Each structure stands twice: as structure tokens, then as C-alpha cells.
Structure 1
Amino acid sequence: MTATPTAAAYLAELAARTARLMELNADAIAAATEAVERTARADGLVYIFGTGHSHMLAEEAHYRAGGLALTVPVLSTPLMLHEGAVASSAFERMPGLVASVLRRYPIGSGDVLVVVSNSGVNAAVVEAAEAGKALGATVIALTSQDYSRQAARGRKRIAAIADIVLDNGAPAGDAIVDVPGLELRVGPVSTSIGAALLNAVFAEAAARLQSSGMAAPVYLSANMPGAAEVNEELVARYRPRNPHL
């Protein structure tokens, strides 16, 4: 008997859910990979937007060792957590806020916009998905289909707007572990699973680019031999279009 049974139960369930991602998303992962690969070949960009905790997936892909350098996080302080979590929860539900955020980013028809939201129904992410479509970008939703269907209650869902939907399979409410004596569950999974899905797509796209003879724009960890030269070249290439480099 483990001395940490709840921790063990959480990690086992997280591992099981991660193992099912390919079965749940095989077609979507293939389609998302093709979109990213096509964008890379056209020297386009992959923008990633989320609010609240979902914004962390935009930062996960940004300037990431082993990650694609063509990714651009779409970041707005009021929609993040570090300067006011309660306020950010209100802002992400506020209609009309995202248009001014997106003006900072030259999203175009050759680009991909990944919109991340577990519930997939708040105004900011819905409007971002709609804006991406209007701009001609390929829109990928990273969401929970089950949670968003339950949360919608007549509202629009990013899953219904996007060209491609990556389903993280998270339950309504996100958390997966029961605690004796506590009515609520603990142990959210959407961030871990979302990062795994994104990195799976980017890894496959990099492999396809490389196998076709086109160098995949991949950052190296700063502590690896030759990293400075590789990363400096990539930063010089993408900095004019990525305001966060």
C-alpha cells in the first residue's frame, strides 16, 4: 500500500487519459499536423491563445527547447492570472475584449490559430476563434468536448467554430480524483493533457518537415552544444513577427 494513495490514483488516471489521446484524436492530430506543416512550409506562424490557466499552453510552446520556433503566444495581462485571477475570470467572459488583443498580432490566411479553452464557451475564446476564421487562418480548438457541451447551455462553443478540434477528454469541472469526505474532486488534468496534445502535433510536424528535406525550426535547450548559434538564427528569423521574443 502506497503512503500517498491519492497522488498515486491521480497519476495513474492522468497516465490512462494521456494513453487514450491518440485513440480519441487520431484524425484531429493528423489534420492539425498537416495544418502546422503547411504553415511552416509557407513561412507562416502558429498563434496560440487561451485565457486563465489555458494561457499557460501558449507560453508552453513559446521559445521552448525542443519546440517549434514558429509558435507565437497571444498574451494579454487582463486575461492571465498573475495580476488578478478574479478579475481575469470576469474579463474572459466580457464580450468585445479580444478584438483589441488580436490587433497586436498579424494573423493571416497562411497562419494557424490554436484557441485553448477547457470549457470552450467564454466570450474571449469564442470571439478569438471567430476572428481567426474571419482572417482566413486555420483555427484549431483545444478543448473538452464533454465539458463544453455541458457548459454551453445555448452558448457558442469553440469546438463548433474551429476547423479542427483536439479533445483533451477532460471531465466537466476538470478534476478527476475523489477525496473521502469532500464532495468536490481534486486533481485537474486539462493543462497536462493539453500540453501533451500540442507537443504531439508539433513533434509530428517537425518530423515530417525534416523527413521531406526542409529543416524544422526547432529551438535547442540553452545548455546543449551549439544551442546559441541555432537559437540566435531562429530568433532573428521570427522576432520581427513575434512581439514576445
Structure 2
Amino acid sequence: MSNTPTAAAYLAELAQRMVQLMHLNADAIEAAADAVERTAMADGLAYIFGTGHSHMLAEEAHYRAGGLALTVPILSSSMMLHEGAVASTALERLPGAVAPVLSRYPIGAKDVLFIVSNSGVNAATIEAAQIGKARGATVIAITSQDYSRQAANGRVRVADIADIVLDNGAPPGDAVVGVPGSKLRVGPISTSIGAALLNAVFAEVSVRLQSAQAAAPVYLSANMPGAAEVNESLIARYRSRNPHL
């Protein structure tokens, strides 16, 4: 018998949910890949925004080995966790706080804007999606449909605004493993599944571009042969439009 039954249960639950992702999101993944492919062919950019833990998906895609170089993270320390988690939680709920952040990024009609939010209802999330739409970008949400329906309580959800919705399937509260003898639940899944959805879309787009002889702009791991030359070329191409390179 395993000495780590809870760890095993969590990993089994996560694996099962990963297997279900394609069934849950087949049409949305195709639509998202179509949108990012159009953006790539138009020399546009794929911006990624999230607050709190969701911001990690913006960093996941940024300057990533095996990832598309056209991705641009939207990062604001005040809405992340490392400089004050309590303050960032309050700020993401404050109307008007996100507009100055997005003013740094020239999101336009040939671009895609991914909005990552598990609950899908906070002010920063909603306003970022609205700004993206107003600028003509294709807005793609990565969210939990179940959680956001419960959390909305009559409010607008990011899923209501986005052009395309990728459902991470997370339950309300995110955690999936019960703690015996209590009402506690542990083992959040939204970050792992969100990263998988994001990378699935970008992998699809990369293969499509290469198949169309469009030279997919993909970073190589720095320790792989030829990586320096490939990555330096991509950095030179995107540095003027990505403030985080």
C-alpha cells in the first residue's frame, strides 16, 4: 500500500481531468488555434493576462523553450503575489485598476488576448477583457465555467465577454481532494490545467505554421545545439514589441 495515498489520489484526479480536456474543449481549442494562427500570419502578438496565481500562465508562455516567441506576458507587480498577496487580492477587485496596466501594451486588432481567471468575475479580469474587445483583439478566456457561474451571482463573467472560452473544468474553490474529518479541500488544479490548455493551443499553432512553411517562431532550450542563433534571431524580431525580453 502506498504511504502517500492523498498524493496518489490528487495525481490520479489531475490525470483524469487532463484526459477529459480535449472532449470538454475540442471546438474551443480549434477556434483558439485558428485565432492564434491568424495572429501569427499577420505578425501579430498573443498577449496573456492574469492576476494572482493566474499570472503564472503569462510567465509560463514567456520566453519558453518549445514555446511561441510571439507571446507577450502582461505583468504588473501590484497584481501578482510576490510583493503583497493580500494587497494584490484587493487590487484585482478594484474597478479601474487594470486600465493603467494595459496602457503599456499596444494590443490591437491583429492580436490575441488571453485572459486567465479561474473564478472569472473579478473587476481586473472583466475590464481587461472589455479593453481587449474594444481594441479589436480576439479575446480568449481560460476559466472555470462551473466556478464562475457560482461566483458570479448575477455579475458579468469573463466567459460572457470572451470570443472563445477554454474551460479548465475546475470545481468551485479549485481544490479537488477532501481532507478526512474536516470540510477542507486541497490540491488545486487550475494552474496545471490552464498551462496544459495554453501549451496545447500553442503546440497546435506551431505545427500548423511549420506545415505551411511559415517558419514557426519557436524558442529552443538554451542548452540545445543551435539554440543561441535561433533564440537571438527571435529576440531581435520581437524585442521592440515585448517589454519583458
With structure 1 as the length reference, what TM-score do the two structures score?
1.00
Q: Percent identity at matched positions? A: 79
Q: Give the equivalent residue in structure 2 for 1:53.
A: 53
Q: Give the equivalent residue in structure 2 for 1:124.
A: 124
Please give the alpha-carbon distance, in whole angstroms, between the structure 1 residues aligned to 2:94 and 2:235: 34
1:92-171 maps to which residues of 2 (within 5 A)?
A: 92-171=92-171
Please give the alpha-carbon distance, in whole angstroms, between the structure 2 residues aligned to 1:118 and 1:99: 20
Q: 1:199 Cα shift?
A: 0.1
Q: 1:155 Cα shift?
A: 1.1
1:1-245 maps to which residues of 2 (within 5 A)?
A: 1-245=1-245
| Partner amino acid, structure 1, of 2:150 | Q
Please give the alpha-carbon distance, in whole angstroms, between the structure 1 residues aligned to 2:70 and 2:110: 12
Please give the alpha-carbon distance, in whole angstroms, between the structure 2 residues aligned to 1:242 and 1:95: 26
Please give the alpha-carbon distance, in whole angstroms, between the structure 1 residues aligned to 2:52 and 2:19: 26
Q: Secondary structure of 1:186's partner? A: strand
With structure 2 as the length reference, what TM-score do the two structures score?
1.00
The number of residue pairs the alignment matches comes to: 245
Stretch moving more, 174-183 or 20-29 = 174-183
| Partner amino acid, structure 2, of 1:236 | A
Q: Secondary structure of 2:184's partner? A: strand
| Partner amino acid, structure 1, of 2:82 | H
Q: 1:179 Cα shift?
A: 1.3
Deviation track 1:146-187 (CA, whole Å, cap 9, x = no partner) reads 000000011110000000000000000000001112211000
Please give the alpha-carbon distance, in whole angstroms, between the structure 1 residues aligned to 2:25 and 2:227: 33
Where do 5+ consecutive residues of structure 2 fail to align? none
Misfit runs of 4+, over 2 Å: none
Please give the alpha-carbon distance, in whole angstroms, between the structure 1 residues aligned to 2:21 and 2:65: 23
Please give the alpha-carbon distance, in whole angstroms, between the structure 1 residues aligned to 2:184 and 2:87: 24
Please give the alpha-carbon distance, in whole angstroms, between the structure 2 residues aligned to 1:117 and 1:66: 24
| Partner amino acid, structure 2, of 1:187 | G
Where do 5+ consecutive residues of structure 1 fail to align? none
Q: Secondary structure of 2:183's partner? A: strand
Stretch moving more, 111-120 or 180-189 = 180-189
Q: 1:82 Cα shift?
A: 0.2
